[in-house]
Amino acid sequence: MRDYLRALVTGELSAGDPVPSERMLCERFGVSRMTVRQAVDALVVEGLLERIQGRGTFVAPPKVDLQVRLASFTEEMVRRGMTASVKVLTAETAPAPPDIAAALDIAVGDTVIHLYRLRFADDAPMAVEHTWLPSDRLPAFLEHGVPSSVYVELGERGLTPDWGEDTIDAGEADDEEAELLTIKPGKPVLRITRRAFTGDQAIEYAQSAYRSDRYTLWVPVSRPNAPVVPRRRTTTQNTDINPNTTPNTKPIRSTT
Ligand code: 16G
């Protein structure tokens, strides 16, 4: 039953189409309502189907696979063949509070550009995002309005971030996020915090809440080249744990 439904959903039906009624499926397969319900439940959990209260069960919209890399929201949506748009909720310059100053490696009270934006993909709200940028590196950033893409604007100024770090937490939408994202308060969101750097200077600190019903994070992984082992703290400080496997590393002789 589950395989039949999965094939139907991925093959013949499109997002938003209703799935056949429980009664019809029971009759067609000669199984109990309980069996049908379990199969539907499993596909709801997988994210292929969604139940809409009072209306029935429908094919869920496909999830967007957000690749965790140093790309912008706009670039990620283009990669997916979707159109990115934005609603600016706040655009201001303000003195940096301690946590923002620490993230951007600037002094508390230094001026930062603060953007608070609702991000859309094909007109569906996907994420709410706070972005802080160091004002002294980006003169007149807001002079001609808010750029539709922060990363494009950084690129035009020769400040495209070249490395960064993201942290990802599971969270629940608060009332404001839920309203903006058109989901119920308490529904799961992916909270992604990013510090991005251009050279050795922080250029961006951002806190985003992505709808987790519409996003799958895609994280390419590979084995590290160097073995992840702690170095031995001895007088032979520069020697690896097993010097036989690292012929270029000579033990340091004590001179005493
Ligand atoms: C993404 C980034 C965010 C960045 C924004 C710029 C993640 C988790 N976050 O949302 O840090 O500020 O893109 O997008 O990827 P933009 O260039 O379209 O304004």
At 189 the pLDDT is 96
In this structure, the strands spanning 111-121 and 64-67 are unpaired
Distance CA 219, CA 113 (A): 30
Atom 11 of ligand 1: nearest residue by CA position: 206
User: Is-above-0.85 flag for pTM?
Assistant: no
Atom 6 of ligand 1: nearest residue by CA position: 72
At 51 the pLDDT is 84
Collect all residues with Cβ–Cβ distance below 8 Å to 63 and sequence separation of at least 6: 47, 213, 214, 215, 216
Q: How far is the CA of 98 from the centre of ligand 1 (A)?
A: 22
At 121 the pLDDT is 92
Distance CA 162, CA 195 (A): 11
Distance CA 249, CA 240 (A): 7
At 214 the pLDDT is 87
Alpha helices, DSSP H, located in 80-171 = 98-104, 150-156
At 226 the pLDDT is 59
Atom 13 of ligand 1: nearest residue by CA position: 72
Tell which one of 116, 132, 151, 189 to mutate to probe ligand 1, the residue whose CB is within 8 A of the most ligand atoms. 151
* Minimum-distance ligand 1 atom for the alpha carbon of 148: 19
Q: How far is the CA of 9 from the centre of ligand 1 (A)?
A: 32
Tell which one of 89, 100, 129, 217 to mutate to probe ligand 1, the residue whose CB is within 8 A of the most ligand atoms. 129
At 256 the pLDDT is 36
Q: Could you read off the pLDDT tens digit of each residue along the chain, which spans 256 residues?
A: 888 888 888 888 888 899 988 898 999 889 999 899 988 888 887 778 888 878 889 998 877 766 667 889 998 888 778 899 999 999 999 999 999 999 999 999 999 999 999 999 999 999 999 999 999 999 999 998 999 999 999 999 999 998 898 999 999 999 999 999 999 999 999 999 999 999 889 999 999 999 998 888 877 777 766 555 555 444 434 433 343 333 333 333 333 3
At 224 the pLDDT is 67
* Minimum-distance ligand 1 atom for the alpha carbon of 74: 18
* Minimum-distance ligand 1 atom for the alpha carbon of 84: 18
